[in-house]
Structure 1
Amino acid sequence: MDIKDHIRAIPDFPKKGILFYDISTLLSHPDAWQVAMGRMAKIVGQHRPDILVGIESRGFLVAAPLALKLGCGFVMARKRGKLPGKTVEHEYDLEYGTDAIALQDDALAPGQRVVVLDDLLATGGTLNATIELCKKVGGNVVGAAGIIELTFLNGRSRIDVPFDSLISYDA
Structure 2
Amino acid sequence: MNLSDAIRSIPDYPKPGIVFRDITTLLGNARAFRRAIDELVQPWAGGKIDKVAGIEARGFILGGAVAHQLSAGFVPVRKKGKLPHETVSIAYSLEYGVDEMEMHKDAILPGERVLLVDDLIATGGTATAAATLIRSMGAVIEAACFIVDLPELGGAAKLTAMDVPVRTLIAFEGH
Give yes or no for TM over 0.5.
yes
1:100-137 residue CA offsets vs partner (Å, 9 max, x unmatched): 11000100011100110100000000000000000111
**RMSD over aligned Cα atoms:** 1.3
2:32 match: 32
1:120 match: 120
TM-score under structure 2 length normalisation: 0.93
**1:1-171 equivalences in 2 (<5 Å):** 1-45=1-45, 48-159=48-159, 160=162, 161-171=164-174
Structure 1 residues 36-45 or 62-71, which shifts more?
A: 36-45
Contact 1:91-1:101 at 8 Å conserved across structures: yes
TM-score under structure 1 length normalisation: 0.95
- Residue type at the aligned position of 1:60: F
Contact 1:41-1:66 at 8 Å conserved across structures: yes
Residues in 2 aligned to 1:46 and 1:153: alpha-carbon distance in whole angstroms: 33
Change (3 A) 1:147 1:43: farther
Structure 1 residues 42-51 or 95-104, which shifts more?
A: 42-51
Q: CA deviation at 1:157?
A: 2.1
Aligned length: 171
Change (3 A) 1:46 1:98: farther
Q: CA deviation at 1:95?
A: 2.3
- Residue type at the aligned position of 1:69: Q
Gap runs ≥5 in structure 1? none
Structure 1 residues 53-62 or 16-25, which shifts more?
A: 16-25
- Residue type at the aligned position of 2:168: S
Contact 1:47-1:142 at 8 Å conserved across structures: no
Contact 1:44-1:115 at 8 Å conserved across structures: no
Residues in 2 aligned to 1:83 and 1:104: alpha-carbon distance in whole angstroms: 7
